[in-house]
Amino acid sequence: MDQLAIGVDLGGTSIKCALVSRQTGLIHQASRDTEAARGPDVVLDNMAGLIKLMMERAEGQVLGAGVGSPGIINWDRTTVSDPPNLPGWKTVHLGDALSARIGTPLRVLVENDANVAGLGSAHYGAGRPYDSFIMVTLGTGVGGAIIYQNRIFRGATGGAGEIGHMTIDYEGPVDNHDIPGASEAYLGQRFLSAHAARMARQSPASSLNETILQRGDLEPHLIYEAAVQGDETAREVLQWAGHKLGVLLGSAVNLLDIRKMVVGGGLSAAGDFIFDAARTTIRQFVTHGLREGIEIIQEPRGNEVGVLGAAHLVFERVDDAAEAVGD
């Protein structure tokens, strides 16, 4: 029999919500402004409103809701603490807060947003062929998740996968956490845009200079579009980024012996302009015995893997409960 769950992607600017079928994936979707600045009560009201909407549309019992969230998640997946970009939260027990607002007890599980994206990719996205893979999300920051034997590898306290803060040069430029040579200090949006602007200044013929004048900034999709149009400087920037990505993933492969990599997030749209360089570089940074079978692929489902993975937290928990009673 099919199973239904609700997936929620709690972001600093918007909340995305979906009704998900275990067998067929997305059934309904909706999203709205987070209204983060109005504090946790309003944000929780907004989440509860979307969840209620999905429950009304469900033809059958909803087993619960999974939430992908920024911030620190406890081991039991019940609370969120100090989510960045969501002021005033401290620690919130999501099951209690949402059940009270919906007016009926709801099973709620919460997990780090990068981790649910990995789980969504594992069960509904590009990660489906692999039992184990490393998920990288190239967005404002560089997020990561380790999917091991179809589960999230959580580490000792639930905080594993902080690939964006791994260093590739101990004397390199610092990221937002002042970590020298952190991969985010190359691949994070702000850092990559700044690098592209520097490269453009040295190449007056590049169309990127015109783009900077028009747009005031070089968002990654603008670099990608210039690369597609044949701009050499834009292509060099993306190769440079791919090289850094390959170095980073090479280190991760050495530590984990997980040789499949799924890359999502805005910058992943640049596809082979980045991945070709990453694929060449990674082989150079992996020990001989682990070089066979390395693959770096794109996650084309974008933000959808977030809500799908969040819903899958619920399916997983139902399986575990069934197994525990010998079902």
CA distance 278 to 146: 19
Buried b (16+ CB within 10 A) or exposed e, 19-30: bbbbeebbeebe
Closest CB to its own copies among residues 17, 247? 247
Long-range contacts (CB closer than 8 Å, 24 or more residues apart) made by 294-297: 294/253, 294/259, 294/260, 294/261, 295/259, 295/260, 295/261, 296/245, 296/246, 296/249, 296/261, 296/263, 297/126, 297/260, 297/261, 297/262, 297/263
Residues of this chain, 116-155, that bind its own copies according to CB under 8 A: 131-132, 144, 146, 153-155
Residues of this chain, 5-64, that bind its own copies according to CB under 8 A: none
Closest CB to its own copies among residues 124, 130? 130
Q: How far is the CB of 49 from its own copies (least distance, A)?
A: 30
CA distance 133 to 300: 16
Residue 149, burial from CB neighbour count under 10 angstroms (0-12, 13-18, 19+): exposed
Please tell me whether residue 87 binds its own copies under the rule CB under 8 A: no
Q: What six digits make up the tokens of 126? A: 């590009």
Closest CB to its own copies among residues 28, 165? 165
The CB-side HSE value for 157 (13 A sphere, CA atoms) comes to: 5
Q: How far is the CB of 45 from its own copies (least distance, A)?
A: 27
What is the pattern of x (binds its own copies, CB under 8 A) and - over residues 280-319? ----xxxxxxx-----------------------------
Q: What is the total count of residues that contact its own copies (CB under 8 A)?
A: 48
Please tell me whether residue 251 binds its own copies under the rule CB under 8 A: yes
Residues of this chain, 157-186, that bind its own copies according to CB under 8 A: 157-163, 165-171, 177-181
Closest CB to its own copies among residues 224, 240? 240
User: Binding residues for its own copies, per CB under 8 A?
Assistant: 72, 131-132, 144, 146, 153-163, 165-171, 177-181, 243-244, 247, 250-252, 254-260, 284-290
